[in-house]
Amino acid sequence: MIPTWAQIGYLVSAVCFIVALKALSSPRSARTGNLIGAAGAVLAVIVTFAAYKPDHLAPILIALAIGTVGGVVGSRRVQMTQMPQLVALFNGVGGGAAALVALLELGEISSDATVSAIATAFTIIVGAVSFSGSVVTFAKLQELMTTRPVTFPGLPVLFVASLLGGVALSVWLVSDPRVWVGVLLCLLGLAIGVMLVLPVGGADVPIVISLLNAFTGLTVAAGGYVLGNTLLLIAGTLVGAAGTLLTKLMADAMGRSVFNILFGAVRGGSTLGGGTASDRPVISAGPEDVAILLGYANKVIIVPGYGLAVAQAQHTLRDLVEELQSRGVKVDYAIHPVAGRMPGHMNVLLAEAQVPYDQLREMDDINGDFKTTDVVLVVGANDVVNPAARTTPSAPIYGMPILNADEAQRVIFLKRSMRPGFAGIENELLYDPRTTLLFGDARDSLTKLLAALKTV
């Protein structure tokens, strides 16, 4: 029986997790929320060690030290552009750990403990799916494998057969909780996770990461039931619920269903276009010409994207905006829900550059302002301003809500090349007579643009 003081400690940890989740809903309080959540996790670990006094303390502490060092070093060295990959790995480790714990608990389950056996079987298969699926999402985002959907003849049949096999093995495990049956179930779960993610195109991978995160949360909650640990049950439920809601919100932001994102390619569709650059003529200009357009504007909207993160140009962009504001130009940032490679990517990136939160405006709030905007400056974004989402039913992004940049008087694109965005399709806005392109690395282009603006 866990002591009363330990239950109180777990309660405080659970409250920390809930408060942290609430704080993470706003860029202004997200940093504080992270610290509160981390404090709750540290408290939970301390309470667990003090209350249960585990055997084999030395190897446990060594494992904790290795994990802590690896996590700190990896998190500090990772670039903002690689943050989704890091999230995928952390998520996969959580799912894999839950599955391993459930396997170890099989020997402790009695034949009449049906509910515990069900929870254990669920944890094993879903945890394995989350682990292998997260590894594949990491490989896609890190470009260790193709970002295009990967399918092969018979994949749907094999996937369905694996699901049915997983159900059969789970029933077997519940009726006869043997370790070798659990191992088979785990291996089948690993295969299901791979087949689940392979057909997903690169542009949709962040949504799948969120879905797998929800899976991991559910496995942790089920594991908490098996272990009789209320804190794991609460924490897992929070993660599962938050991941599910986030998955739904991201899918809505792309105008697609989760089912279509997961199985669109299997059904014969595709979540990526051709991916080839066009040789059609465009209007390009140098930094001096673009500086004149910006310097004499009354209202400018900045649309940041993944290219801004790749170039680490957020600080230079902030300096450019401050120069424009010193000239009396009204400037806002338009934030699309799926700009970048994960939810909030642009908010975090710009917050790092000390951009005031009130300048960051969400799509629904700012879309009506484009009609009265003199210049839209698109920095490293493409798909989130592509009119094909409204006009081309065959486009993979058709139906996705976009920023109405095409309604402004002038549009300026800062692009490295004419290569399409992550969805792999051309953006007709690039060929509009009102659009001017400034080619080059975003940070280099913004630096030259800022210098030119100061001479206007």
Q: Distance between CA 196 and CA 247 in Å, rounded?
A: 15
Q: Which two tokens stand for residue 214?
A: 């929800």
Q: Do the Cβ atoms of 235 and 227 come closer than 8 Å?
A: no
HSE (side-chain half, CA atoms, 13 Å) at 440: 15
Q: Has 112 been annotated as catalytic? A: no
Q: What is the dihedral of CA 145, 256, 237, 61, to 10 degrees?
A: 20
Which helix (H) or strand (E) element contains residue 311? helix 306-311
Q: Distance between CA 376 and CA 385 in Å, rounded?
A: 11
Cβ burial of 387 (10 Å; 0-12, 13-18, 19+) is middle
Q: What are the strands, taking DSSP E only, across 352-447?
A: 360-362, 375-379, 410-415, 435-439
Active-site residue among 204, 332, 383, 406?
A: 383
Phi-psi region of 344 (alpha: psi -120 to 50; beta: other; left: phi over 0): left
3-state secondary structure of 92: helix
- What DSSP designation does 410 have? E
Q: Distance between CA 306 and CA 309 in Å, rounded?
A: 5
Q: Do the Cβ atoms of 452 and 320 come closer than 8 Å?
A: no
Q: Among residues 31, 83, 34, which one has the least CA distance to residue 357?
A: 31
Q: Among residues 332, 334, 342, which one has the least CA distance to residue 249?
A: 342
Q: Could you tell me which residues come within 8 angstroms of residue 69 by beta carbon, excluding any fewer than 6 positions away?
A: none
Q: Which two tokens stand for residue 448?
A: 């030259």
Catalytic annotation, residues? 383
